[in-house]
A and B are shown apart, each in its own frame.
Chain A
Amino acid sequence: MSNKVIYAIYNDDDVLMDAVKKTRAAHYHIEDVFTPFPVHGLDKAMGLAPTRLAICAFIYGLCGISFATWMMNYIMIQDWPQDIGGKPSFSYIENMPSFVPIMFEETVFFAAHLMVITFYMRSRLWPFKEAENPDVRTTDDHFLMEVAVNDNEEELVSFFKSTGAVEVNVIDKN
């Protein structure tokens, strides 16, 4: 069985939003939507689950502050507690104010970088990755909705024509 999909192409984000809502109401499964810029509310209309990236970042931040605390405690208090300019190095808490800038920066550093890397991994982005545009115009001024075809090609094409698509293509995807 061939793997056919429909590419419904729109040239306006409002029309696209309406089409997405209609497609969902008609219970056709949207494989993907390609847009040249973020369309506000599109994820909600498509019914996508909210991102958990912020939760990751929070946990990475906790890792960062733990790392900084462990590192400064080990270096400055445990390993070689020197008297440097009269700063009390008897315990971590006594000298903590001078470690706070590092603790803060490490927290931000871990949270930011690990979150970005998580984003790249989860969205499969890397330098020599092959681009996945179904249609080059989607990076400029067109919007494309991809819907799987299950023996209902005629029905789907006429449906997407009715949603205001400027072009409806049936593509054989292998």
Chain B
Amino acid sequence: MYTFSSRLKTFSLILMAVGLLGIGYGFYSAPKDIQEVEALLAADSHGSHGEASHATTAVAHDEHAATTSHSDKAEKANHSVKEDAEHKEHLEHVLHQLSNKPWAAVYVACIFFMLLSLGTLAFYAIQQVAQAGWSPVLFRVMQGITAYLPFGSVIFFVILVLCGLHFNHLFIWLDPEVVAHDKLIQTKSGYLNFPFWIIRAGIFLLGWNAYRYFSRKNCLAQDEADDNTFYKKNFKMSALFLVFFIVTESIMSWDWIMSIDPHWFSTLFGWYVFASFFVSGITTICMVTLYLKSKGYLEHVNTSHIHDLAKFMFGISVFWTYLWFSQFMLIWYANIPEEVTYFVTRIQEFNLPFFGAVAMNFLFPVLILINTDFKRITWVLVMAGTVILLGHYIDFFNMIMPGTVGDQWFIGIPEIASVLFFLGLFIYVVFTALTKAPLLPKRNPFIEESKHFHY
């Protein structure tokens, strides 16, 4: 049995406390009205802290930005009524972006950690259905990681409800004011309307959590059983779950990520999101396994198991890149205006995170994990895993931020604090769950093979 070390527990509680403070600060410091925004922009345009994003503000914004510059007084004196209206409109636009910032920061961190444990769950189900002979010694680790799913789901669902109750402007199609003036969103309102959207979300989250709950229950029951009925039940349930998962995963990616940019659509988006959180899930399995192994809790896990996980990290990282590039290149090549704006904003305003994600999620892991010997070395894997996880956080950041905060993005206190809070919660929940059951399944039909797995 695993015992949650008090140091790790304290560490996770500190992360949560610091995270909460930072999140609170993010909400507290967000501007409340356009006067504050005006003051902020004035301070900004005098170059007190020139963000890179400001240099690359889209052409449409330049005009507005010029009006906010107070340096040229002569020009300001000549402001016509129309310019004043435009100026006000611009301030309102920036106000929305800035008041979205703390919300978007929480949203990205929340969806990232929830999907990460969902990715682990999908990996776990695949291992069951594939009757993998190597992984049963890791099943309890995976179940520990997926223990975060119910907690993550509840928080995430609450955030979705708050979006629907107009506490924020993360999803512009949830704003009846916007929809009233937007023909494109109006035609999509049969799908993008709050009741349908929130019911879908509820069904998806319930379905995933139900599989997690019963699968773990059966796995524990199998330990005490004297035949394989529970194993067979789990096998069938996992197969059904995978079918449910791939449908709901696809729709989930439209609902919770793609609809942030409701004027844009991409057909392989669901797969792309899947690859992103799937590789994060596998990386998490690997890192938690390495941690538990280093503490001496996983007697039967050898370097071959670690090697297999590292191969998955490597392979799925490449798969993510393949989808990233396919989505990008198809749209870049055809350059159809209604599709390409998605990447234009990202390249102009999110240049470093956009291409940095490719370096972190592809170049780095590929060059490090291509070596067979490296795939067995703990510190190499921890380093590669950290870069992959950070890279996929950035990936989710890139998917959500441009549509919510636009050129006002920054990885500052609200963003980092949100990650710390959810990381602390994740560690606390996962390692508490790991203490609840023995780390080695007893009567799994493949457990002997798995114990002696050697590659």
Q: List which B353-373 residues lie within 8 A (CB) of chain A.
A: 370, 372
* CB <8 Å contact, B328 and A97: yes
A86 to B332, CA, bound (A): 12
Counting residue pairs across A and B whose Cβ atoms lie within 8 Å, the total is 12
The yes or no answer to B265 lying at the interface (CB within 8 A) is: no
Residue-by-residue, is B321-346 near A (CB-CB < 8 Å gives 1, otherwise 0)? 00001001100110100000000000
Residue-by-residue, is A78-96 near B (CB-CB < 8 Å gives 1, otherwise 0)? 0000000010000000000
A98 to B328, CA, bound (A): 11
Residue-by-residue, is A6-25 near B (CB-CB < 8 Å gives 1, otherwise 0)? 00000000000000000000
A97 to B370, CA, bound (A): 24
The yes or no answer to A109 lying at the interface (CB within 8 A) is: no
* CB <8 Å contact, B325 and A58: no
Q: Which of A54, A86, A97, A100 has the most CB of B within 10 A?
A: A97
A35 to B397, CA, bound (A): 56
* CB <8 Å contact, A97 and B335: no
The interface size bin for chain B is under 10
- B330 closest partner in A (C-beta): A97
- A101 closest partner in B (C-beta): B329
* CB <8 Å contact, A86 and B370: no
Minimum CB–CB distance from A152 to chain B (whole Å) comes to 37
Q: Residue B370 contacts which of A58, A98, A100 (CB distance < 8 angstroms)? A: A58
Q: List which A31-65 residues lie within 8 A (CB) of chain B.
A: 54, 58
Q: Which residues of B contact A97 (CB under 8 A)?
A: 325, 328-329, 332-333
The interface size bin for chain A is under 10
Minimum CB–CB distance from B358 to chain A (whole Å) comes to 11
A58 to B374, CA, bound (A): 15
A54 to B375, CA, bound (A): 15
A115 to B358, CA, bound (A): 28
- B322 closest partner in A (C-beta): A104
Residue-by-residue, is A153-174 near B (CB-CB < 8 Å gives 1, otherwise 0)? 0000000000000000000000
* CB <8 Å contact, A98 and B335: no
A86 to B325, CA, bound (A): 20
* CB <8 Å contact, B325 and A98: no
* CB <8 Å contact, A100 and B333: no
Residue-by-residue, is A113-138 near B (CB-CB < 8 Å gives 1, otherwise 0)? 00000000000000000000000000
Minimum CB–CB distance from B326 to chain A (whole Å) comes to 10
Q: Which residues of B contact A54 (CB under 8 A)?
A: 372
A104 to B4, CA, bound (A): 47
* CB <8 Å contact, B329 and A100: yes
Minimum CB–CB distance from B366 to chain A (whole Å) comes to 11
Minimum CB–CB distance from A61 to chain B (whole Å) comes to 10
A98 to B332, CA, bound (A): 9
Residue-by-residue, is B297-330 near A (CB-CB < 8 Å gives 1, otherwise 0)? 0000000000000000000000000000100110
A98 to B372, CA, bound (A): 32
* CB <8 Å contact, B328 and A86: no
* CB <8 Å contact, B335 and A100: no
Q: Which residues of B contact A58 (CB under 8 A)?
A: 370
Residue-by-residue, is B438-454 near A (CB-CB < 8 Å gives 1, otherwise 0)? 00000000000000000
Q: Which residues of B contact A86 (CB under 8 A)?
A: 335
Q: Which residues of A contact B325 (CB under 8 A)?
A: 97, 100
Minimum CB–CB distance from A125 to chain B (whole Å) comes to 25
A97 to B328, CA, bound (A): 9
A98 to B330, CA, bound (A): 9
Sample (12) of A-B pairs whose CB atoms are under 8 Å apart: A54-B372, A58-B370, A86-B335, A97-B325, A97-B328, A97-B329, A97-B332, A97-B333, A98-B329, A98-B333, A100-B325, A100-B329
In the A-B complex, the 4 residue pairs with the smallest Cβ-Cβ separation, listed nearest first, are A97-B329, A97-B332, A98-B333, A100-B325
* Extra 9 A-B pairs, beta carbons < 8 Å, given A86-B335, A97-B325, A98-B329: A54-B372, A58-B370, A97-B328, A97-B329, A97-B332, A97-B333, A98-B333, A100-B325, A100-B329
